[in-house]
Amino acid sequence: MNVQPQTPYEYKFSQEYIRQLEFDYLETYSFQRGEVFELELENNRARFRALNDSQNKRTPDEEMEFRALLSRPVSAELLIDDNEQMHLTAVKTGSFPKLSREATMITNILKMEALNVPAWMCAPMYRDAIVFYDANGKRASVLNICFSCEYMATGKSHLINADSNVYSQLKNLLINIGHAITE
């Protein structure tokens, strides 16, 4: 029997998530990758450090910039933000009807029983996502995936637990679809 931890977060197992999800097609996305993204991330970190070091000497404009950088997530950004906007770096890698081979494989992978749930002590960097839609094109759910930490989330406090084999199988499938997964 699987027991969920008691926290302010909502946890579901992947098999429960996918069985409850009604969708007609899905799209796969890759985001927060590439040289441009990595360069921007490093520049933001360097600017944050510089502004943080000069905390008593910041101009009002620098203070606003510092607060903006402080409020910007560094790692756990989701594909869709609070304003329902797609991440600027998002690249759609595929679109598949529910009964397609790829969608069936994703569904079957997510239905795997969670016998060995990873528990890494790092912050997730979501770089891959699967977006599920109904027949009218309305988003039913977004599954954000971090393969480095073996984490999945459908929202900031809505986490999906899965067996470690789910991550390896999803990773291989998404690579075959066209995701540039290197981690």
Q: pLDDT of 125-178, one tens digit each?
A: 899 999 999 999 999 999 999 999 999 999 988 999 999 999 999 999 999 998
* CA dihedral for 170, 145, 167, 183, sign (positive or negative): positive
Predicted local distance difference test score (pLDDT) of residue 74: 56
Q: pLDDT of 83-98, one tens digit each?
A: 898 988 889 999 999 9
Average pLDDT of the residues in 102-108: 98
Predicted local distance difference test score (pLDDT) of residue 92: 95
* Token pair belonging to 104: 């069936």
Q: pLDDT of 46-94, one tens digit each?
A: 888 888 888 788 999 988 888 877 766 555 589 998 889 898 888 999 9
Residue 144's beta-bridge partner residues?
129, 153
Which stretch of DSSP H or E encloses residue 102? helix 101-110
Predicted local distance difference test score (pLDDT) of residue 99: 97
Boundaries of every domain in the chain: 10-32+77-177, 35-71
CB 127 within 8 A of CB 31: yes
